[in-house]
Amino acid sequence: MPTLLVFGARNVGRVLARELIADGWNAAAVARTQDTIDALRAEVPEALGIVADATSAADVERAFAETRDRFGPPDLVVSALTDGPRSGSIVELAADAFDSYLHDLLPAIFNVLRVGSRVLVENGGGTFVQMTGGSARRGMPKRGPWAAAAFATRALTQSAAGELRERNVHGALLIVDAVIESPKVAGRMEGQPPEKFATMEEIAKAVVYLHGQSPRAWTHELQLTPALETWVP
């Protein structure tokens, strides 16, 4: 039975665990708070919930160890770690507008990518998927810090994928070029065309697709764009 380990259990990670368990997988999901893990377990009781902070390298190592102890080594590692965009004109942003990305988000992504890559290589193969937003492909007005973090995420993942393909691991970047549907954006969805949004189930399908690709396949970057009703490699 294959095993998923996903970092970010609140929304996408929760749905991904639910969908894969329904398909016969084992699943472990990581979140920073016990409340998020309790919500995960209420919806997906078969999932292993792990409270850990990905900004801590020791916590990331522990999450992999707990997954291995319960299910064996993961076959698919997904980093669904995100942070909301800090909106504002570059001439108005505060000096600390970049701090949360620089000190929290990017170190967390780096820890999961670094440890996950090592674990997959040590176990002979598998898939690593990093999620990010459309700003990874283009900067947007009033979202400079967010775009910079997304570009950095893309660069880290691309660099790792180039190494991992020679070691039987498929490293891939999933760019969700849409607002992800969740309770916290429900108010923003009213009156908006549906193609501006992506469901978490659509994202789960894209992750499964990437896992099905060979490490030497061309699909090392996939853009999910509901407005185009397509996936754009």
Per DSSP, the three-state class of 56 is: coil
- 29/138 Cα distance (integer angstroms): 30
Q: How far apart are CA 82 and CA 112, in angstroms?
A: 13
Mean pLDDT of the region 13-19: 97
User: Taking residues 185-194, what's their average pLDDT?
Assistant: 60
> Is pLDDT of 62 > 50?
yes
pLDDT score recorded for residue 232: 47
Tokens representing residue 189 in the block: 């969805």
Q: Give residue 226's pLDDT.
A: 64
Q: Tell me the mean pLDDT in the region 179-201.
A: 67
Residue 219: the pLDDT is 61
How does pLDDT run across 71-105, given as a tens digit for each residue? 999 999 999 998 766 678 999 989 898 888 889 99
Q: What is the pLDDT of residue 224?
A: 82
Pairing status of strand 169-176 against strand 221-225: parallel
pLDDT of residue 88: 84
Residue 44 pLDDT class (50, 70, 90 cuts): very high
Contact 40, 18 (CB under 8 A): no
The pLDDT value given to residue 135 = 85
- Give SS3 for 173: strand
Stated pTM of the model = 0.91
- % residues pLDDT > 70 (the chain): 86
Residue 16: pLDDT over 90: yes
Q: Tell me: pLDDT of 118 over 90.
A: yes
* Residues whose CB falls within 8 Å of the CB of residue 133, separated by 6 or more in sequence, listed in order: 82, 85, 146, 150, 175, 176, 177
In the chain, what percentage of residues exceed pLDDT 90?
65
User: Sorting pLDDT into bands at 50, 70 and 90, what band is 198?
Assistant: confident
